[in-house]
Chain A
Amino acid sequence: MPTLEHDSLVFRFPQIEEEASFAIDFQRTLRIPDSDETYHLPPGLGRFPLRHAEDYSTRLPTHTASRGGVIFPMWQAEAMWIDFRNIGPDLELDFPVAVKIAAGKINAITGDPWRAGLTRDPQDYVVSPEQPWLDGYAVEKDVIRQFVAMPLGECYSAEEQLTGEAEWGGLQISVIPLKKEVWSAKRAAWERGKAALQERADILPDMACMSMEMSLAPGGRMHQAIEPDPFELDDWDTAAADRVFVTLVHGKDWKTVTGEPAPEHPPTARMYTEAGLPWFSHYGADQTALPGSGTLRGLKSAGAMHEILTGASLPDSEDVEVKVVVPTEPRRLIATGSWDK
């Protein structure tokens, strides 16, 4: 089972490798405008606070408490990205894991209903460290639609658009390590390579029906490749999978549930951009990036749905002119002060 450490979910598989771990945290960010434009990566503004659901079971709906896992607060129309940190036994040796992510039990990569195990055609998971983060639903090759929180039961989420039900909300995550023999072979190859390098160095001189629960709707378009799995499907040890249910609690209810204040509203894309702060670009080995899901491509974005439901535009939906784009290695976090309106 994962542990909760400094607002990260930390997965360890000591039976396979004692000196490795894989951590997931949920980054606060700007909501990118929900338009035809495709935006660069918005920044990470710090982790959402994560708490054990069971610690607040008396103040959560019974079905939420029974799902276990963790809770964190999101305001309506707030965006989020999922940060992956792969901590291998050495700086030069990652510990690959397959990560399956669903929102409202709709797979964020394929749009299919949640199921255990891994599927290859189409690939329904991402692999860390190849995939450094996930910002939303994979709708096209190199394009995702940002995860945007909307109240469960108001028809915005992928789950509600695809199933007609508002049963689950939240996020569902499963992490799968390599089989021990596959990992051991990878580690041994690395150790042989390291020994060879050292020799050379020696020679050289040198949620459901409750307004409290939030679900994730597809928001604005963002450049992001979903990297293909470099391993064989059979290399993964699906029997060793760990999973966790993440319930999203509406920001307005967070204090009632936990006694703690919810984080402030994040800045709007306009405020952030006008302050001259950077957006980020990241290009992986995206020649072979996955094509995105036709099912997810057909969904209405949060902005489009808001117009249908209310006749009004979602606030802060106007395009912004991004002037500062910084190429980034995995890590796109920036320190911020207070941004509350």
Chain B
Amino acid sequence: MKHPGRTEEPAAVGRYIRERREALALEDASFSLRQVAGRCGITPAYLSRVERGEVAPPGEETLVRLARDLGEDPDVVLAMGGKISADLRAVILARPQLFAELIRQMKKMPDSSVLRIVRDVRDGNW
């Protein structure tokens, strides 16, 4: 899984949102700055500043709305904005030691190994 545009840079999420929105706007006028901002409950001026990296990334709720509106994975967009979704945070905080250890161990693993960890061993016919 390659995460598009993944970077530590704070403006990256704004740039990514702009690229995705403008690509969609080429095919569908409803992805104009004004209409997307309207559907996501923010002003066009604010969205414009987010896209240009002039302000800090929006809060979780707004980022998730933007991601959904643009057909992107909310977790990926949140990560680009330096955030972790509230449900994931709750999962980690419920068992902080276990998940901290698990995540550290998985840090250098390729995606295929990570997927193997979370999969059940399938039973068959015997």
**A interface residue numbers (CB < 8 A to B):** 1-6, 9, 52-54, 65-70, 105, 168, 172, 243-245
Point out the residues of chain A lying under 8 angstroms from B126, CB to CB.
67, 105, 168, 172, 245
Point out the residues of chain A lying under 8 angstroms from B117, CB to CB.
3-6
- The listed residue (A2, A4, A69) touching B116 by CB distance below 8 A is A4
Contact between B118 and A66 (Cβ–Cβ < 8 Å)? no
- 10 residue pairs of the A-B complex, CB under 8 angstroms, read A1-B120, A6-B117, A66-B124, A67-B124, A68-B124, A69-B121, A69-B124, A244-B121, A244-B123, A245-B126
Q: A3-B118, A4-B121, A68-B124 are in contact. List 15 more A-B contacts (CB 8 A).
A: A1-B122, A2-B120, A2-B121, A3-B121, A4-B119, A9-B121, A52-B116, A52-B121, A53-B122, A66-B124, A67-B125, A68-B125, A105-B126, A168-B126, A172-B126
CB distance from A57 to the nearest CB of B (A): 10
Point out the residues of chain A lying under 8 angstroms from B124, CB to CB.
53, 65-69, 245
Contact between B116 and A245 (Cβ–Cβ < 8 Å)? no
The complex places the Cα of A68 from the Cα of B125 at a distance, in Å, of: 7
Contact digits for B86-126, partner A, Cβ 8 Å, 1 yes 0 no: 00000000000000000000000000000011111111111
CB distance from A140 to the nearest CB of B (A): 29
The complex places the Cα of A66 from the Cα of B117 at a distance, in Å, of: 21
The complex places the Cα of A230 from the Cα of B66 at a distance, in Å, of: 60
Point out the residues of chain B lying under 8 angstroms from A245, CB to CB.
123-124, 126
Contact between B119 and A243 (Cβ–Cβ < 8 Å)? no
CB distance from A22 to the nearest CB of B (A): 14
The complex places the Cα of A245 from the Cα of B126 at a distance, in Å, of: 8
The complex places the Cα of A243 from the Cα of B125 at a distance, in Å, of: 11
CB distance from B103 to the nearest CB of A (A): 14
The complex places the Cα of A305 from the Cα of B125 at a distance, in Å, of: 31
The complex places the Cα of A52 from the Cα of B120 at a distance, in Å, of: 9
The complex places the Cα of A2 from the Cα of B126 at a distance, in Å, of: 17
The complex places the Cα of A17 from the Cα of B118 at a distance, in Å, of: 19
The complex places the Cα of A65 from the Cα of B124 at a distance, in Å, of: 8
CB distance from B50 to the nearest CB of A (A): 40
Q: Nearest chain-B residue to A65 (Cβ)?
A: B124
